[in-house]
Amino acid sequence: MADLRTCPVCNMDVNPADAPSETFRDQEYSFCSETCREQFLMDPERYARA
């Protein structure tokens, strides 16, 4: 069963198996697209969970 995550940028469901991901402050984030990943990298503080 797929372990779905939520894209922190646009709140879409993401399958981490085939999604780009980044680690920020020891948290792993998965993104629905490269566009959202780039968006996150420009301002991670804004999207990271507290």
Q: Shortest distance, CB of residue 3 to Zn ion, whole angstroms? A: 17
Q: Shortest distance, CB of residue 15 to Zn ion, whole angstroms? A: 12
Q: Distances in Å between the alpha carbon of 43 and those of 1, 38, 39, 46? A: 32, 9, 7, 6
Whichever of 9 and 29 has its CB closer to Zn ion, that residue is: 9
Q: Shortest distance, CB of residue 18 to Zn ion, whole angstroms? A: 14
Kindly list the residues in this chain that would bind Zn ion in the complex (CB under 5 A): 7, 9-10, 32, 36
